[in-house]
Amino acid sequence: MMKRGGTRGQSAAAPRAAQTPTPVPYDYGVSFKLSGQPGRLHDQVLSIAPDGAFVAVAIGYGFAEDRFRPLELHPRGALPPNPKDVVLNNLPIEALIEGFCLEPKFGASIFNTNPTPEAQLNGMLRRVKPRAQPTFLFSIIDTATGRELQDEPTHNLASLGIATGERPFRALASPVSFLPRSSLRLQVIEQSADTRGRLDVVFYGYRLPFTANCPEPVVRATAAVAAPAAMTPLVSPARVIPFDYAASIDLTGEPFARREAEVTIAADGEFVATAVGYGLAVADLGVSFGRPAPQPPPAPQPPPENLSQLTLGTFPLDALMDGVRIRPEMHRLAFLDNAALSNALPASLLDRVFERLNRPEDVSFTYSMFDSGAGHDLQNIELNNVAGLGSAGGERPFKSLAAPLRLRPSATVRVEVTELFGRGRLFVVFQGHKRLGGRPQ
């Protein structure tokens, strides 16, 4: 009897152990298209996939603003037929202060059109609006249970923090489990005028893969057990060393261009990723006009520069593609008292007056990650970089994964990126540790 009872206990425990899935780090995101009309209501439903439960441990958001605005040139007599001969005096003052760039659909080809119709001249440049922080009210309802997650629509800054990602992602007070096929309803009420773009709200956590016919009580029980276990670092008897795997992607500044890179795990050991970070390496932010350097006395000093008559053709082409503005600290020298451009700027200061808009903190893109070894995505949609990973300037802590991502030897992770703004080499780094001399656990 005792032996038979013990056998029954062992056989009953085996199926439960077999049903316990391995947590996989995962992000569920939902996107809203903000129109810049205060009071406008947006409504979206986030559906959990049928092949697994989802446990949310944190929430965050990001905003990819549509910063480009039309730019109409001031004739001030007559516009030149050649776009290269358009002078800074033809540009509105707000474009010189905030920034301007070439229209990407024209690019350098606009300079090869001569003569150019006035309508096309007015469409060759775009004003680059400074980044704005959106304000909105939001509410979340768990439609599976009918529960609201707040008593009234909440202000984004009060509940989630600033949209630049310079704060840690807001950790939930306790993990929240969502069953397969359940859904969340999110409502957003715009509060900012003339702030247009894509708003991403992201729930960070991990998935628990289940078969489609797994009973609901088993799903809830397993999620409750896996929640604390997923937050605990994996321990291995094998020798462990800290290690980073990096994927590098060259961004060209072409909006909506798709790029991808693949990271291959070495065959000498398993890699466990515990965090993800990223950064953009850019060239010099200055704008050099190639003027000869002034010679020391007694050689004569070069004549002063008339900024109002400086032509677009004298700017480096890649600087016009990146976007250019007058440095804020140089406004006092670049403008006269009547707000007109200086007509007698010392030649030695010309290369210090302008700066490019292609700064690392301004880069904007959407991304997705795919674990080719296991055959699953790490998010449900392409996510905005700030919403999914945090500030582009590196002011935030690195994003910790809700559950360690275990990658077997020779496995691959594919990173796909859709460009929105910015040019340079993008580095996406998986931070974690490598097991050497031991078999995968």
> Do 263 and 293 belong to one domain?
no
> Do 179 and 272 belong to one domain?
yes
Q: Which amino acid is at 275?
A: A
Q: Is the pLDDT of residue 79 over 50?
A: yes
CA diameter of the chain? 111
Last residue of a domain, one of 316, 341, 357: 357
Residue 10 within any structural domain of the chain: no
Residue 118 sits at φ, ψ, to 5 deg, of -60, -35
Q: Is the pLDDT of residue 193 over 50?
A: yes
Question: 347 vs 289, which has greater pLDDT?
Answer: 347
> Do 244 and 373 belong to one domain?
yes
> Do 76 and 223 belong to one domain?
no
**Residue 288 half-sphere exposure, CB side, CA atoms within 13 Å?**
7
Q: Is the pLDDT of residue 365 over 70?
A: yes
Tell me the DSSP string of 207-266.
EEE--TT--HHHHHHHHHHHHHHHTSPP--SSEEEEEEEEEEEEEES-TT-EEEEEEE--
Q: Is the pLDDT of residue 194 over 70?
A: yes
Tell me the DSSP string of 385-432.
HHHHH--TTS-SPPEEEEEEEEE-TT-EEEEEEEEEE-EEEEEEEEEE
**Highest mean pLDDT range out of 3-7, 141-145, 343-347?**
343-347
Residue 106 within any structural domain of the chain: yes
> Do 181 and 218 belong to one domain?
yes
- pLDDT at position 235, please? 47
> Do 330 and 344 belong to one domain?
yes
- pLDDT at position 10, please? 43
Q: Is the pLDDT of residue 222 over 80?
A: no
Residue 288 within any structural domain of the chain: yes
- pLDDT at position 312, please? 92
> Do 189 and 298 belong to one domain?
no
Question: 93 vs 238, which has greater pLDDT?
Answer: 93
299 pLDDT band, cuts 50/70/90, is low
Residue 4 within any structural domain of the chain: no
Residue 39's CB is within 10 A of a number of other CB atoms, namely 8
- pLDDT at position 17, please? 40
Residue 47 within any structural domain of the chain: yes
- pLDDT at position 14, please? 39
Q: What pLDDT, in 10s, does the model give residues 305-320?
A: 999 999 999 999 889 9
Last residue of a domain, one of 311, 328, 357: 357
> Do 163 and 49 belong to one domain?
yes
Q: What pLDDT, in 10s, does the model give residues 149-162?
A: 888 999 999 999 88
Query: What is the domain range of residue 250?
Result: 20-66+132-282+361-436
For 115-124, what is the mean pLDDT? 82
Residue 350 sits at φ, ψ, to 5 deg, of -60, -45
- pLDDT at position 294, please? 58
What's the CA gap between 367 and 203, in Å, rounded? 16
Residue 290 sits at φ, ψ, to 5 deg, of 75, 15
What does the angle CA 425 – CA 429 – CA 432 come to, to the nearest 5 degrees?
165
Residue 215 within any structural domain of the chain: yes
For 92-103, what is the mean pLDDT? 93
> Do 35 and 60 belong to one domain?
yes
Q: What pLDDT, in 10s, does the model give residues 241-272?
A: 899 999 999 998 888 999 999 999 998 888 99
Q: Which residues contact 145 (CB under 8 A, 6 or more apart)?
A: none
Q: Which two tokens stand for residue 60?
A: 């965050």
- pLDDT at position 4, please? 42
Residue 2 within any structural domain of the chain: no
For 292-299, what is the mean pLDDT? 58
Q: What pLDDT, in 10s, does the model give residues 368-410?
A: 999 988 888 999 999 999 999 998 888 877 899 999 999 989 9
For 349-360, what is the mean pLDDT? 91
- pLDDT at position 209, please? 83
**Residue 335 half-sphere exposure, CB side, CA atoms within 13 Å?**
15
What's the CA gap between 187 and 292, in Å, rounded? 58
Q: Is the pLDDT of residue 8 over 90?
A: no
> Do 392 and 257 belong to one domain?
yes
Contact 121, 70 (CB under 8 A): no
What's the CA gap between 28 and 204, in Å, rounded? 7
> Do 136 and 233 belong to one domain?
yes
Contact 214, 48 (CB under 8 A): no
How many domains does one find in the chain? 2
Residue 401 within any structural domain of the chain: yes
**Highest mean pLDDT range out of 111-125, 204-218, 220-234?**
111-125
Residue 65's CB is within 10 A of a number of other CB atoms, namely 22
pTM of the model: 0.82
CA distances (Å), 124 to each of 76, 191, 313, in order? 18, 32, 13
> Do 226 and 142 belong to one domain?
yes
Q: Is the pLDDT of residue 229 over 60?
A: no
Last residue of a domain, one of 337, 357, 377: 357
- pLDDT at position 5, please? 43
Residue that is written with structure tokens 């109002």 in the block: 308
215 pLDDT band, cuts 50/70/90, is low
